Structure 1
Amino acid sequence: MPLYLIFLFLVTAALYASVGFGGGSTYNALLVLSGVDYRILPAIALTCNIIVVAGGTYAFTRSGNLRLRRIAPFLITSIPAAWAGGRIPVSETLFIGALGFSLLAAGLHLALDRNRDVDAELKPAPAALAWIVGGCIGFLSGLVGIGGGIFLAPVLYLIRWGKPKEIAGACSVFILVNSLSGLAGQLMKLGDMNALSMIGAYWMLFPAVLVGGQIGSRMANVGLSSLTIKRLTAALILYVSVRLLLRWYGMVF
């Protein structure tokens, strides 16, 4: 495994953790561009996600910014949907296309997002909306090996679900449980020990994202504004999304 890949995973984890996400979509993209067998990519990316967001979830819980009861309606459908998505075999073309467009949407969201606070009255999401949104994001998360927080965040802001730190806490636990559920589905799909040994060959990526996640959790306190960090993260995501979509275009056409 090339050393540059370990470094890129560390940097990705730091950038994503600094804005409250796990980085699964970009881990997948980096592995695709490095020529790794696409069948094992989601399992590696979801494991990295779990490592990065577990610490963030704990921190949000201790600070009182994790409203588990309020985010629970989204989790009710997202957890089984992520498992179901992880169980579905997909072609390499579909996988790269879905991942590329997911990254493009995530990059545009971060590029256009601004630091903001919510002054209007906050309110819980209608149960039906939470079930639909949670299920759709969870399924996509399991299918391509991401946590889904990057898609949940704009929805929560749009419906004025909570304050920024509360939304970050909600996204953190959403990513954690969907990554665990999606990983279970992915491992059941892989099944044989040969695939598991292939994943084990990339074990050095796991301590890399652990270190990167810890760096990211402290980045906002060393002079960089959260808006600057978002722009840097967006630039990374958009770059790899364009690379992926160009590859996907060549495969389709």
Structure 2
Amino acid sequence: MELLFALDALSAPEYGIVCAVAVVAMLYASVGHAGATGYIAVLTLAGMAPIEVRPTALVLNVIVAAIGSVQFFRAGHFRWSLFAPLAAGSIPCAMLGGSLPLQPRTIELVVALVLFGVAVQLLIPQKLPREPEPNSDSDLKSFHKGFFQIFSSWKMTLVAAGIGLLSGCTGVGGGVFLTPILIALRKAPIKTIAAVTAPFILVNSLAGLAGSILGDQRVPPLAPTFMIAAILGGAIGSSLGATRLSAMAIRRLLAVVLGIASFKLFGHF
């Protein structure tokens, strides 16, 4: 009932923002991501202050990434041995990045560069390897294997640390950086990469959000409404699995939105 009253109080532009958040969540969830760069683009285009954009995007990221993590884990594509070294490097650095007291103009510049880079990356066709049968490495019994992989995969841990720091600073989960790296290195098939990326985004977003809270940053009053929109969009997108819209069409659409947002931010300088 309180939600209905809250929706009744929304203005037409606010309704548009809520709908855009739901669409972004649906599109990103359909391709295995949580959508932070999309949320940042939407909220930036809507005129939200940069200091509010970062924690808000992280909250929405946590929700959609959690949905994707559960589904990929149940499907048997998750691998502890690949996830553990990445999480070990990214979590503390994401918390550090989220707590850094960056100036609004610094945040705008970093976010603009990230959005532009992701937009370009989305337009580049990627040749993906064929999928094997789901493996049993998602079983909890393999957790010890992933733990010891932290020490034998120190290079990936260092890469993840850099991704975590950038993620915390900008308010993204890091999936847009991790996925192309894992694909380029051919670390795993695409479904396994997606299955590892979703929880990677989840833990990074949680760490970055914790850092934002410690840094005394706050989410706007509309955040609960955005959260509900993200839940609905994420659930629909992950269930559809991009069956009604080609992956390339989604990538091009997202690239246009991110590009517009990045140029808007660049225009502030």
> Normalising by structure 2, what TM-score?
0.82
From 243, 249, 255, give the equivalent of 1:231: 249
TM superposition shift of 1:216: 0.8
Is 1:48 the counterpart of 2:60 in the alignment?
Answer: yes
Q: Distance in 2 between matches of 1:207 and 1:246?
A: 29
Q: How many residues align?
A: 240
What's the RMSD between the two structures over aligned residues?
2.2
* Contact 2:98/2:171, CA 8 A, preserved across alignment: yes
- Distance change in 2, residues 1:244/1:96 (3 Å): farther
- Distance change in 2, residues 1:222/1:239 (3 Å): closer
* Contact 2:109/2:265, CA 8 A, preserved across alignment: yes
Structure 2 runs not aligned, ≥5 long: 1-9, 132-148
> Normalising by structure 1, what TM-score?
0.87
* Contact 1:137/1:152, CA 8 A, preserved across alignment: yes
Identity of aligned pairs, percent? 31
After superposition, the C-alpha distances for 1:61-98 in whole angstroms (9 at most, x for unaligned) are: 11110102322111111000000000011122221221
* Contact 1:110/1:231, CA 8 A, preserved across alignment: no
- Distance change in 2, residues 1:116/1:41 (3 Å): same
Other-structure match for 1:32: 44
Structure 1 runs not aligned, ≥5 long: none
From 207, 213, 219, give the equivalent of 1:181: 207
Other-structure match for 1:105: 117
- Distance change in 2, residues 1:45/1:214 (3 Å): same
Structure 1 outlier segments of 4+, above 4 Å: none
Instruction: Mark the structure with the bigger radius of gyration.
Output: 2
* Contact 1:108/1:234, CA 8 A, preserved across alignment: no
- Distance change in 2, residues 1:140/1:221 (3 Å): closer
From 184, 199, 206, give the equivalent of 2:227: 206
Once the two structures are superposed, the pairs formed by residues 128-207 of structure 1 within 5 Å of their partners are 128-190=154-216, 195=218, 199-207=220-228
Q: Which amino acid aligns with 1:235?
A: L
Moved more, 124-133 or 174-183: 124-133
Q: Which amino acid aligns with 2:204?
A: N
